[in-house]
Structure 1
Amino acid sequence: MSDSKPTAPRRPAARKTPVTVSTGHPRSTPDRVADAIGKGILNRRFVVGQRLVETDLMRDLGVGRSTVREALRILAASGVVELTPHRGAVIRSLTREDATSLLGVLEVLSGLAARLAAQRIHLGDNARRFEAAAHKLVRAETPEALDHVLDARANYYKVMFDIAASPELDRVLPQARAHLFRAQFH
Protein backbone atom coordinates (compact mmCIF):
# COMPACT_ATOMS: atom_id res chain seq x y z
CA MET A 1 0.00 0.00 0.00
CA SER A 2 1.35 3.42 -0.97
CA ASP A 3 1.52 6.44 1.35
CA SER A 4 1.05 8.89 -1.51
CA LYS A 5 -2.16 10.89 -1.65
CA PRO A 6 -4.31 10.67 -4.76
CA THR A 7 -4.12 13.77 -6.89
CA ALA A 8 -6.84 15.32 -8.96
CA PRO A 9 -6.25 15.20 -12.70
CA ARG A 10 -4.90 18.46 -14.11
CA ARG A 11 -6.95 20.26 -16.68
CA PRO A 12 -5.04 21.49 -19.70
CA ALA A 13 -4.86 25.27 -20.00
CA ALA A 14 -7.31 26.82 -22.44
CA ARG A 15 -5.52 28.05 -25.53
CA LYS A 16 -6.85 31.38 -26.71
CA THR A 17 -3.85 32.30 -28.81
CA PRO A 18 -1.69 29.26 -29.51
CA VAL A 19 2.01 29.97 -29.54
CA THR A 20 3.53 29.05 -32.90
CA VAL A 21 6.85 29.77 -34.52
CA SER A 22 7.95 28.36 -37.86
CA THR A 23 11.71 28.09 -37.62
CA GLY A 24 12.20 24.81 -39.44
CA HIS A 25 13.45 23.05 -36.32
CA PRO A 26 11.59 21.91 -33.20
CA ARG A 27 11.48 24.44 -30.38
CA SER A 28 10.34 23.99 -26.80
CA THR A 29 7.19 25.70 -25.64
CA PRO A 30 9.13 28.11 -23.37
CA ASP A 31 11.28 29.06 -26.40
CA ARG A 32 8.13 29.72 -28.43
CA VAL A 33 6.65 31.81 -25.60
CA ALA A 34 9.91 33.79 -25.35
CA ASP A 35 9.73 34.35 -29.14
CA ALA A 36 6.11 35.53 -28.81
CA ILE A 37 7.09 38.03 -26.11
CA GLY A 38 9.98 39.21 -28.30
CA LYS A 39 7.56 39.76 -31.18
CA GLY A 40 5.27 41.62 -28.75
CA ILE A 41 8.18 43.94 -28.03
CA LEU A 42 8.82 44.42 -31.76
CA ASN A 43 5.12 45.17 -32.36
CA ARG A 44 5.20 47.64 -29.45
CA ARG A 45 2.69 45.62 -27.44
CA PHE A 46 5.28 45.59 -24.65
CA VAL A 47 7.45 48.63 -23.93
CA VAL A 48 10.65 49.31 -22.03
CA GLY A 49 9.94 49.41 -18.30
CA GLN A 50 6.68 47.48 -18.58
CA ARG A 51 6.03 44.75 -16.04
CA LEU A 52 5.16 41.39 -17.58
CA VAL A 53 2.33 39.85 -15.57
CA GLU A 54 2.51 36.06 -15.54
CA THR A 55 -1.26 35.53 -15.38
CA ASP A 56 -1.82 37.84 -18.37
CA LEU A 57 0.83 36.00 -20.39
CA MET A 58 -0.65 32.63 -19.40
CA ARG A 59 -4.09 33.74 -20.56
CA ASP A 60 -2.95 35.48 -23.76
CA LEU A 61 -0.59 32.70 -24.87
CA GLY A 62 -2.58 29.73 -23.60
CA VAL A 63 0.23 28.20 -21.55
CA GLY A 64 0.87 27.32 -17.92
CA ARG A 65 2.72 29.27 -15.25
CA SER A 66 5.86 27.10 -15.37
CA THR A 67 6.12 27.65 -19.14
CA VAL A 68 5.80 31.42 -18.72
CA ARG A 69 8.38 31.43 -15.93
CA GLU A 70 10.84 29.42 -18.03
CA ALA A 71 10.28 31.78 -20.98
CA LEU A 72 10.98 34.76 -18.71
CA ARG A 73 14.20 33.07 -17.52
CA ILE A 74 15.22 32.61 -21.18
CA LEU A 75 14.56 36.31 -21.85
CA ALA A 76 16.42 37.30 -18.68
CA ALA A 77 19.43 35.22 -19.77
CA SER A 78 19.42 37.04 -23.12
CA GLY A 79 19.19 40.45 -21.43
CA VAL A 80 15.67 41.34 -22.55
CA VAL A 81 13.93 41.30 -19.17
CA GLU A 82 15.04 41.84 -15.60
CA LEU A 83 13.71 39.36 -13.03
CA THR A 84 13.30 40.62 -9.50
CA PRO A 85 12.24 38.21 -6.73
CA HIS A 86 8.68 38.91 -5.52
CA ARG A 87 8.23 41.63 -8.15
CA GLY A 88 8.35 39.72 -11.43
CA ALA A 89 9.73 40.54 -14.84
CA VAL A 90 10.21 43.96 -16.41
CA ILE A 91 11.25 44.79 -19.99
CA ARG A 92 14.72 46.23 -19.57
CA SER A 93 16.31 49.19 -21.24
CA LEU A 94 19.48 48.71 -23.23
CA THR A 95 22.42 50.90 -22.30
CA ARG A 96 24.51 52.61 -24.97
CA GLU A 97 27.17 49.92 -24.46
CA ASP A 98 24.55 47.15 -24.82
CA ALA A 99 23.30 48.70 -28.06
CA THR A 100 26.80 49.14 -29.50
CA SER A 101 27.72 45.54 -28.74
CA LEU A 102 24.42 44.24 -30.14
CA LEU A 103 24.79 46.25 -33.35
CA GLY A 104 28.30 44.84 -33.86
CA VAL A 105 26.97 41.28 -33.64
CA LEU A 106 23.97 42.06 -35.86
CA GLU A 107 26.27 43.63 -38.46
CA VAL A 108 28.24 40.41 -38.84
CA LEU A 109 25.18 38.14 -38.79
CA SER A 110 23.33 40.37 -41.28
CA GLY A 111 26.31 40.19 -43.64
CA LEU A 112 26.24 36.41 -43.44
CA ALA A 113 22.46 36.39 -44.00
CA ALA A 114 22.88 38.64 -47.06
CA ARG A 115 25.48 36.28 -48.55
CA LEU A 116 23.30 33.21 -47.92
CA ALA A 117 20.20 34.98 -49.28
CA ALA A 118 22.10 35.99 -52.43
CA GLN A 119 22.95 32.34 -53.01
CA ARG A 120 19.25 31.43 -52.75
CA ILE A 121 17.68 34.47 -54.44
CA HIS A 122 16.86 32.53 -57.63
CA LEU A 123 14.78 29.89 -55.79
CA GLY A 124 10.99 30.13 -55.83
CA ASP A 125 9.68 33.65 -55.32
CA ASN A 126 12.67 34.81 -53.26
CA ALA A 127 13.63 37.57 -55.72
CA ARG A 128 10.09 38.96 -55.76
CA ARG A 129 9.83 38.85 -51.93
CA PHE A 130 13.19 40.57 -51.52
CA GLU A 131 12.39 43.29 -54.08
CA ALA A 132 9.03 43.97 -52.38
CA ALA A 133 10.70 44.29 -48.95
CA ALA A 134 13.42 46.59 -50.34
CA HIS A 135 10.86 48.73 -52.18
CA LYS A 136 8.86 49.33 -48.97
CA LEU A 137 12.06 50.32 -47.17
CA VAL A 138 13.13 53.03 -49.64
CA ARG A 139 9.60 54.38 -50.12
CA ALA A 140 9.44 56.60 -47.00
CA GLU A 141 8.71 60.12 -48.19
CA THR A 142 9.03 62.16 -45.00
CA PRO A 143 10.81 62.06 -41.65
CA GLU A 144 7.33 61.81 -40.06
CA ALA A 145 7.08 58.32 -41.56
CA LEU A 146 9.39 56.91 -38.85
CA ASP A 147 6.92 54.17 -37.90
CA HIS A 148 6.75 53.10 -41.53
CA VAL A 149 10.54 53.11 -41.92
CA LEU A 150 11.16 51.08 -38.75
CA ASP A 151 8.51 48.52 -39.69
CA ALA A 152 9.77 48.30 -43.29
CA ARG A 153 13.35 47.88 -42.07
CA ALA A 154 12.36 45.08 -39.67
CA ASN A 155 10.45 43.39 -42.51
CA TYR A 156 13.42 43.77 -44.90
CA TYR A 157 15.74 41.96 -42.50
CA LYS A 158 13.12 39.32 -41.73
CA VAL A 159 12.73 38.55 -45.44
CA MET A 160 16.50 38.45 -45.92
CA PHE A 161 16.97 36.01 -43.01
CA ASP A 162 14.00 33.94 -44.24
CA ILE A 163 15.55 33.66 -47.71
CA ALA A 164 18.93 32.78 -46.16
CA ALA A 165 17.13 29.76 -44.65
CA SER A 166 19.87 28.89 -42.17
CA PRO A 167 18.71 27.16 -38.98
CA GLU A 168 22.14 27.76 -37.43
CA LEU A 169 21.97 31.48 -38.18
CA ASP A 170 18.45 31.61 -36.72
CA ARG A 171 19.72 29.84 -33.62
CA VAL A 172 22.51 32.35 -32.89
CA LEU A 173 20.63 35.51 -33.87
CA PRO A 174 19.85 37.58 -30.73
CA GLN A 175 16.39 38.26 -32.10
CA ALA A 176 14.65 39.22 -28.86
CA ARG A 177 17.40 41.75 -28.08
CA ALA A 178 17.17 43.12 -31.63
CA HIS A 179 13.41 43.56 -31.13
CA LEU A 180 14.12 45.33 -27.82
CA PHE A 181 16.62 47.63 -29.55
CA ARG A 182 14.12 48.50 -32.29
CA ALA A 183 11.35 49.16 -29.77
CA GLN A 184 13.61 51.28 -27.57
CA PHE A 185 14.85 53.27 -30.57
CA HIS A 186 11.24 53.84 -31.62
Structure 2
Amino acid sequence: MIIVMRIGHRPERDKRITTHVGLVSRAFGASGIMIDTPDEKIEETLRAVSRNFGGRFSVKTGVKWLPYMRRWKREGGTIAHLTMYGERVDDVIQTIKEKVEKAKKLMVVVGAEKVPRGVYNLADFNVAVGNQPHSEVAALAIFLDRYFSGGELTKRFKGKKHIVPCAKGKKVVTSEAKKNRAESRAKRCALDENRQ
Protein backbone atom coordinates (compact mmCIF):
# COMPACT_ATOMS: atom_id res chain seq x y z
CA MET A 1 0.00 0.00 0.00
CA ILE A 2 1.27 3.45 -0.91
CA ILE A 3 -0.28 6.53 0.65
CA VAL A 4 0.68 10.07 -0.32
CA MET A 5 0.66 12.57 2.57
CA ARG A 6 0.22 16.19 1.48
CA ILE A 7 1.45 18.61 4.16
CA GLY A 8 0.87 22.36 4.22
CA HIS A 9 -2.08 22.51 1.80
CA ARG A 10 -3.56 26.02 1.66
CA PRO A 11 -7.08 25.68 0.16
CA GLU A 12 -7.24 29.01 -1.68
CA ARG A 13 -3.67 29.00 -2.93
CA ASP A 14 -2.90 25.31 -3.52
CA LYS A 15 -6.19 23.78 -4.71
CA ARG A 16 -5.01 23.18 -8.28
CA ILE A 17 -1.58 21.82 -7.37
CA THR A 18 -2.94 19.64 -4.56
CA THR A 19 -5.57 18.28 -6.96
CA HIS A 20 -2.76 17.44 -9.38
CA VAL A 21 -0.81 15.74 -6.57
CA GLY A 22 -3.92 13.60 -6.02
CA LEU A 23 -4.38 12.87 -9.72
CA VAL A 24 -0.75 11.82 -10.11
CA SER A 25 -0.96 9.73 -6.93
CA ARG A 26 -3.93 7.80 -8.33
CA ALA A 27 -2.70 7.46 -11.91
CA PHE A 28 0.83 6.44 -10.89
CA GLY A 29 -0.18 3.66 -8.50
CA ALA A 30 -0.77 5.06 -4.99
CA SER A 31 -3.65 3.65 -2.94
CA GLY A 32 -4.75 7.02 -1.62
CA ILE A 33 -3.92 10.51 -0.46
CA MET A 34 -4.13 12.16 2.94
CA ILE A 35 -4.19 15.96 3.09
CA ASP A 36 -3.54 17.80 6.33
CA THR A 37 -6.04 20.63 5.77
CA PRO A 38 -9.79 20.02 5.44
CA ASP A 39 -10.90 20.58 1.83
CA GLU A 40 -14.18 18.98 0.73
CA LYS A 41 -13.85 20.28 -2.85
CA ILE A 42 -10.61 18.40 -3.43
CA GLU A 43 -12.07 15.28 -1.82
CA GLU A 44 -15.09 15.39 -4.15
CA THR A 45 -12.98 16.14 -7.24
CA LEU A 46 -10.65 13.18 -6.64
CA ARG A 47 -13.52 10.84 -5.74
CA ALA A 48 -15.34 11.84 -8.93
CA VAL A 49 -12.27 10.95 -10.99
CA SER A 50 -12.14 7.52 -9.35
CA ARG A 51 -15.88 7.00 -9.88
CA ASN A 52 -15.63 7.91 -13.55
CA PHE A 53 -12.28 6.43 -14.52
CA GLY A 54 -12.09 3.56 -12.03
CA GLY A 55 -9.62 2.33 -9.51
CA ARG A 56 -9.68 2.09 -5.76
CA PHE A 57 -8.29 5.34 -4.40
CA SER A 58 -8.97 6.77 -0.96
CA VAL A 59 -9.05 10.49 -0.20
CA LYS A 60 -9.12 12.07 3.22
CA THR A 61 -8.52 15.67 4.22
CA GLY A 62 -8.07 17.23 7.65
CA VAL A 63 -5.57 14.54 8.69
CA LYS A 64 -3.16 15.62 11.42
CA TRP A 65 0.15 14.73 9.81
CA LEU A 66 2.31 14.25 12.92
CA PRO A 67 0.15 11.64 14.72
CA TYR A 68 -0.57 9.94 11.39
CA MET A 69 3.12 9.67 10.52
CA ARG A 70 4.02 8.42 14.02
CA ARG A 71 1.33 5.74 13.86
CA TRP A 72 2.52 4.73 10.38
CA LYS A 73 6.04 4.20 11.73
CA ARG A 74 4.80 2.30 14.81
CA GLU A 75 2.94 -0.06 12.47
CA GLY A 76 6.17 -0.77 10.58
CA GLY A 77 5.53 1.49 7.60
CA THR A 78 8.24 3.30 5.66
CA ILE A 79 8.20 7.05 5.05
CA ALA A 80 9.83 8.72 2.04
CA HIS A 81 9.78 12.52 2.08
CA LEU A 82 10.25 14.17 -1.31
CA THR A 83 12.52 17.20 -1.01
CA MET A 84 15.14 18.81 -3.22
CA TYR A 85 17.53 18.58 -0.25
CA GLY A 86 17.41 14.79 -0.03
CA GLU A 87 19.42 11.92 -1.44
CA ARG A 88 19.11 11.27 -5.15
CA VAL A 89 16.19 9.02 -6.00
CA ASP A 90 18.27 6.69 -8.16
CA ASP A 91 20.72 6.19 -5.28
CA VAL A 92 18.06 5.14 -2.74
CA ILE A 93 15.08 3.71 -4.63
CA GLN A 94 16.26 0.10 -4.39
CA THR A 95 16.85 0.45 -0.64
CA ILE A 96 13.36 1.93 -0.26
CA LYS A 97 11.82 -1.00 -2.17
CA GLU A 98 13.67 -3.50 0.02
CA LYS A 99 12.54 -1.78 3.23
CA VAL A 100 8.92 -1.56 2.02
CA GLU A 101 8.96 -5.25 1.05
CA LYS A 102 8.74 -6.21 4.74
CA ALA A 103 5.71 -4.19 5.91
CA LYS A 104 4.17 -3.48 2.48
CA LYS A 105 3.44 0.11 3.57
CA LEU A 106 4.98 3.21 2.04
CA MET A 107 4.03 6.80 2.80
CA VAL A 108 5.27 9.41 0.35
CA VAL A 109 5.28 12.88 1.91
CA VAL A 110 4.85 15.89 -0.38
CA GLY A 111 4.96 19.42 1.00
CA ALA A 112 3.02 22.45 -0.19
CA GLU A 113 4.78 25.11 1.82
CA LYS A 114 7.88 24.95 3.98
CA VAL A 115 7.81 21.50 5.54
CA PRO A 116 8.31 21.31 9.33
CA ARG A 117 11.67 19.95 10.51
CA GLY A 118 9.87 17.04 12.16
CA VAL A 119 9.04 15.60 8.73
CA TYR A 120 12.73 15.36 7.85
CA ASN A 121 13.41 13.63 11.17
CA LEU A 122 10.49 11.18 10.99
CA ALA A 123 11.17 10.19 7.39
CA ASP A 124 13.16 7.03 6.78
CA PHE A 125 14.30 8.59 3.51
CA ASN A 126 14.54 12.22 2.40
CA VAL A 127 14.52 11.80 -1.37
CA ALA A 128 15.32 14.26 -4.16
CA VAL A 129 14.45 13.79 -7.81
CA GLY A 130 16.81 16.68 -8.43
CA ASN A 131 18.65 19.15 -6.24
CA GLN A 132 17.17 22.22 -7.91
CA PRO A 133 13.81 23.89 -7.23
CA HIS A 134 11.04 21.97 -8.97
CA SER A 135 7.36 21.07 -8.74
CA GLU A 136 6.13 18.62 -6.13
CA VAL A 137 3.87 17.13 -8.81
CA ALA A 138 6.90 16.35 -10.98
CA ALA A 139 8.79 14.96 -7.99
CA LEU A 140 5.91 12.64 -7.10
CA ALA A 141 5.50 11.40 -10.68
CA ILE A 142 9.21 10.66 -11.04
CA PHE A 143 9.43 8.99 -7.63
CA LEU A 144 6.43 6.71 -8.28
CA ASP A 145 7.69 5.91 -11.77
CA ARG A 146 11.06 4.85 -10.36
CA TYR A 147 9.37 2.90 -7.55
CA PHE A 148 7.17 0.93 -9.97
CA SER A 149 9.87 0.75 -12.68
CA GLY A 150 7.40 2.14 -15.22
CA GLY A 151 4.79 -0.55 -14.57
CA GLU A 152 2.22 1.97 -13.37
CA LEU A 153 1.98 3.39 -16.88
CA THR A 154 0.24 0.26 -18.17
CA LYS A 155 -2.09 -0.20 -15.19
CA ARG A 156 -5.69 -0.75 -16.28
CA PHE A 157 -8.54 0.91 -14.43
CA LYS A 158 -12.10 -0.37 -14.60
CA GLY A 159 -14.40 2.61 -14.65
CA LYS A 160 -17.30 4.16 -16.51
CA LYS A 161 -14.92 5.96 -18.83
CA HIS A 162 -11.87 4.72 -20.67
CA ILE A 163 -9.46 6.82 -22.69
CA VAL A 164 -8.20 5.19 -25.86
CA PRO A 165 -4.63 6.20 -26.72
CA CYS A 166 -4.24 7.65 -30.21
CA ALA A 167 -1.79 10.06 -31.80
CA LYS A 168 -4.47 12.55 -32.84
CA GLY A 169 -7.80 13.47 -31.34
CA LYS A 170 -9.57 12.31 -28.21
CA LYS A 171 -11.28 8.97 -27.83
CA VAL A 172 -13.22 8.28 -24.66
CA VAL A 173 -15.50 5.26 -24.37
CA THR A 174 -18.03 4.64 -21.64
CA SER A 175 -18.64 0.90 -21.40
CA GLU A 176 -16.70 -2.38 -21.43
CA ALA A 177 -18.03 -3.45 -24.83
CA LYS A 178 -17.16 -0.10 -26.33
CA LYS A 179 -13.77 -0.26 -24.61
CA ASN A 180 -12.96 -3.54 -26.36
CA ARG A 181 -13.96 -2.07 -29.72
CA ALA A 182 -11.97 1.07 -28.97
CA GLU A 183 -8.85 -0.95 -28.15
CA SER A 184 -9.16 -2.65 -31.52
CA ARG A 185 -9.50 0.77 -33.16
CA ALA A 186 -6.46 2.01 -31.23
CA LYS A 187 -4.38 -0.90 -32.55
CA ARG A 188 -5.55 -0.11 -36.07
CA CYS A 189 -4.81 3.56 -35.47
CA ALA A 190 -1.27 2.69 -34.32
CA LEU A 191 -0.77 0.49 -37.39
CA ASP A 192 -1.97 3.29 -39.67
CA GLU A 193 0.38 5.75 -37.99
CA ASN A 194 3.34 3.36 -38.40
CA ARG A 195 2.63 3.03 -42.12
CA GLN A 196 2.82 6.79 -42.66
Tell me the TM-score normalized by structure 2.
0.28
Structure whose residues are more often strand by fraction: 2
Q: Which structure's CA Rg is the greater one? A: 1
Higher helix share: 1
Task: Compare relative contact order (CA 8 Å, sep 6+) and give the higher one, 1 or 2.
Answer: 1
The two structures have a TM-score, normalised by structure 1, of 0.29
